[in-house]
Structures are given as C-alpha cells and as structure tokens.
Structure 1
Amino acid sequence: MPEPDEPTRAPTGRQRLRRALVRPSRGQVVVAILLALLAFAAVVEVRHNEVDDSFAGYREQDLIDVLTGLAGTTQRAEDEIARLEETRQELLTDSGRRRTALEEAQQEAETLSILAGLVPVTGPGLRITITEPEGPVSAANLVDMVQELRTAGAEAIQVNGQVRLIAQSAFEDAPGGIVVDGELLSPPYVVDVIGEPHTLTNALTFLLGPRSNIEREGGRMRIDERSSIDIEAVREPEEPEYAQPVPEQ
C-alpha cells in the first residue's frame, strides 16, 4: 500500500541563490541593472579625477598636430633670437667701425693741421743757426737746405720764430736779408726743425750738402740736436680760390 506523503522540506540558502541566478525575478533584474550603472558611473568619476583632462578628449592625430605646432613655435622663437643676436653683433661692429673711422679722421686732421702749419707743435729735432761772417747767404741755398730737411722727415719748420714753413713757402733775396712768404728776415737765421735729430743732421752735413754750400758762400752753420723744440709760429688757414670738394655720391 502506498506510503504516506513525506513533509515538504524548506529550500536551503544555496538552493535559493542558485535559483535566483538561474531564474531571476523581474525585481532582481532591475536591481542588478541599477547596481551595474552605479558601478560604471563610479569608475568613470575616479578615472576623470585621476587623469589630467587638458588633452583627454583629443584624438591621436589631434595630439600630433598640437606637438607639431609647438615645435614650429619653438623653432620660430629660436630663429628670432638668432636674428636679434646677429643684429646686435652688426650694431656693435658698425659702432666699432664708426669709432675707428672717427679716430682715424681725427688723427688725419691733426696731421694735416701740423703739415699746414695751423697749430703749434713740440718734439725732438734741431736748432740750426746760420750767420754771415764773410758774405750773405742766398735764398737758393736756404731753399736747398729746407728741401733736404723735408726729405729726411722734417715734420715742422719755422724760421726766426716768425715764419712757419709750409709746402707753398717761397724764399727771395732782398737787401738786408731774405724775404720768406712776404716777410723780411735778417741774419742770423735761426731755423727750428722737428724730426729725428740724427737723421736731420746727416741731411745737412753730407759731402757737398747744404752746410758745404752755405759755408762756400761765406756763411757759417751751427747745428744743435735737442730732445725737445717748441714751434709756436702758425699760419692762418687760406680759403681755396678754385678747388671745390667733390659732392658725396
């Protein structure tokens, strides 16, 4: 005969969990979806906070373009720096050239002023004293003496402390003396010369030179070498009558 029915056993926790996983109810599905969405949102928020979002939305090509642009900007800045350095160097060089040109022009102006007899000068040289104990000295022999002195490097010459000799100076015989550049000078003639003393002396004393010629006429020449001679006679600058400066191109 049939056995009496056994009482129904309550399902265990493991059985309930398995049943929920295999055949979830509608409420369980909804809860699982909500939990999944919440977890996804949490992960996105954490990553957003941890990563610098300056270029987060850029694509790879966008990032390459940004880097290329930065490289180009850097290169342009370096080129500009190089150009400015070159300009600075050119300005320094140009300033140096101008300073050098100015110094050379000033030195040349001083030299020309000395040669033109426009300024007093001082320096080593000779004092030549010419007397006439036995006869007058001719203007021609004085001119010959001056030419020899200039050939030997004389830089400045004055006669009797009155007349500064220049390239255009002229000598003429006259009663009682010699006319130099329109001024009558009487003996003794004292000629001050600036230049290398020993060289100037040799220019006067060589065989058949200026001293021999002057002594043959009856004059006498005394030569004193000095470490310093002052020449104070000067000339007034003359305006050219015909010459005109060439206009700058």
Structure 2
Amino acid sequence: MPEPSTDTGDQRTGGRRRLLAALRHPSRQQLVVGLLLAVVGFAAITQMRSYQVDDTYAGYREQALIDVLNGLAGTTQRAEAELARLEETRAELQSDTSAEQAAIEQARAEADALAVLAGTVPVTGPGIRVTITEETGQVDIDSLLDTVQEMRTAFAEAMQVNGQVRVIASTSFEDGVGGIYVDGTLLEPPYVIDVIGDPATLHGGMVFPDGPVDQLERDGASVQIEELQSLDIESVVEPQRLDYTQPGSGS
C-alpha cells in the first residue's frame, strides 16, 4: 500500500500560513481593494433603502404625476378660499358684535337721559341752589312758575323744590293756604329750588333785567343764589302706569 504524499499537506499548511500572515499584515494593495469593496457595498445598501422609503409614485407616468400635482394645487386653492371665507365671516361677526354693543350702549345712554328727564332716578351734578324767602309779601305762583321756566330755558337738567318734589315737564303748581301745592304736595316758604346744570348759565337765567329775581323781589321776597360744584337731587317721581297706551307701528 503506497504512503500518502506529504507534498500536498505541506502545500495546504503553507497556504494557511500565508493567508494568516496577509490578514495580520495586509499590504497597501490589499487595503485599497478592501476599501473599494466597502464603499461599493455601502452604496448598494443605501440605494436599496432609498427605493424602500417611498415608492408610492415610482410607477407613475409623467402625465399621471402632472395630474397629481394639479390635484394638489386645486386642493390647496380650495383650502385657501375656505380659510379666506371663514376669516371674512369672523370679521363680519366681530363687526356685527361691535355694532350691536355700540347700539346697546347708545340705548342705555338714551334710557339714562330719559330717566333723568322723567325724574325717576336720583341725580348728582353741578348747579345752583335758589333760596326764596318771603319777607314783606307772599310769593306769587306765577313768579315761581316763571323761575322754573327760566331754569328750563337755561338748560336745567334736573330740579327739585324743598328737597321733596321733583320738577318735571308735567309738574303742576297750585295756590295753597300757607304755601304752594307742587304736584299735590303743600310746600311752605322758604322755597329752596335745587337745579342741576351749568352753574354760570343757570345763574345768568335768574338775574337778567325783569327776570325771576326782579319778579320775586317785587312780591316782597329775598332771593339768594349759590353756585355749587356738586348738588344732590334725591327726590324722584313714581313712573306712571299706562293702561291703554301702546307703541304704534310707525307707519
């Protein structure tokens, strides 16, 4: 039986040694080849991943892609138009709210002014206090009426007599024993008339020639006028209940 050849075994052993030596101590050429292989492999992996990220439109033709873009543009335009419409609606609502608030505030101001004129609320403001004291004679009712009328002409906003009776457009004056009835209430002298308005204007409406002061003095009374920066009128008129009157249609 022939003996196995030792040449082949030696060749294999030598090849392994050369491979191990090359791995442990690679040459410059081997390093360059390895680096190129690594770059090629990395590029291949990156390309494969890029294909896997999003291939939604990968198979679309050029016209199909154009149609998709046109559809997206149309959707954007509709969204922008809807946004503009909503913003316009919001602006209109804000404008309507502002107009409504302004109308409410104006209505409240008018209601407050009417309440003052109707004498249904207490008021405070600058004005004058006229004190009429009977000395040598009795104050004539016409002289008192003229005094009230001149105060109205001088833009009086509110008046009261003796702190008890609020004077309004419908206030009545009648002669009484020992005094004057004002809206059914007997008031005795001295008569104190509180008037709210511009003090200088109201004062001027009392002292012009043959005006209220001259008339009252001819009746035998003395008149004292005080200009006040703050005057309280607390007497009020109870609102009259209307049983039959109703607002008209305005037509």
**TM-score clears 0.5:** yes
Matched, 1:93 2:95: yes
Q: Superposition pairs for residues 109-124 of structure 1, below 5 Å?
A: 109-124=111-126
| Structure 1 range deviating more: 197-206 or 210-219 | 210-219
Encode CA deviations 1:143-192: one digit per residue, 9 max, x unaligned: 11111111111111000111001110111122211111111111110111
> Which residue among 128, 131, 138 is the counterpart of 2:130?
128
| Structure 1 range deviating more: 179-188 or 48-57 | 48-57
Equivalent position SS for 2:92: helix
2:188 maps to 186
Q: Superposition pairs for residues 22-171 of structure 1, below 5 Å?
A: 53-171=55-173
Offset of 1:220 from its aligned partner?
1.8
Equivalent position SS for 2:239: coil
Q: Superposition pairs for residues 210-249 of structure 1, below 5 Å?
A: 210-246=212-248
Q: What is the alpha-carbon distance in structure 2 between the residues aligned to residue 248 and residue 73 of structure 1?
A: 52
- The AA in structure 2 aligned to 1:61 is Q
Identity across matched positions, percent: 57
Q: What is the alpha-carbon distance in structure 2 between the residues aligned to residue 68 and residue 233 of structure 1?
A: 78
Encode CA deviations 1:223-245: one digit per residue, 9 max, x unaligned: 11111111111111111244312
Q: Which ranges of 4 or more aligned residues in structure 1 deviate by more than 6 Å? A: 46-49
- The AA in structure 2 aligned to 1:82 is A
Encode CA deviations 1:63-82: one digit per residue, 9 max, x unaligned: 22111111110000001111
Distance change in 2, residues 1:161/1:83 (3 Å): same
1:42 maps to none
- The AA in structure 1 aligned to 2:170 is Q
Q: What is the alpha-carbon distance in structure 1 between the residues aligned to residue 70 and residue 142 of structure 2?
A: 90
What is the TM-score when the length of structure 1 is the normalising length?
A: 0.76
Offset of 1:53 from its aligned partner?
3.2
Equivalent position SS for 2:189: coil
Q: CA RMSD in A?
A: 2.2
Equivalent position SS for 2:166: strand
Equivalent position SS for 1:136: coil
Q: What is the alpha-carbon distance in structure 1 between the residues aligned to residue 70 and residue 76 of structure 2?
A: 10
- The AA in structure 2 aligned to 1:168 is S
| Structure 1 range deviating more: 235-244 or 210-219 | 235-244
Offset of 1:248 from its aligned partner?
9.8
Gaps of 5+ in 2: 1-45
Distance change in 2, residues 1:85/1:248 (3 Å): farther
- The AA in structure 2 aligned to 1:134 is T
Equivalent position SS for 1:204: helix
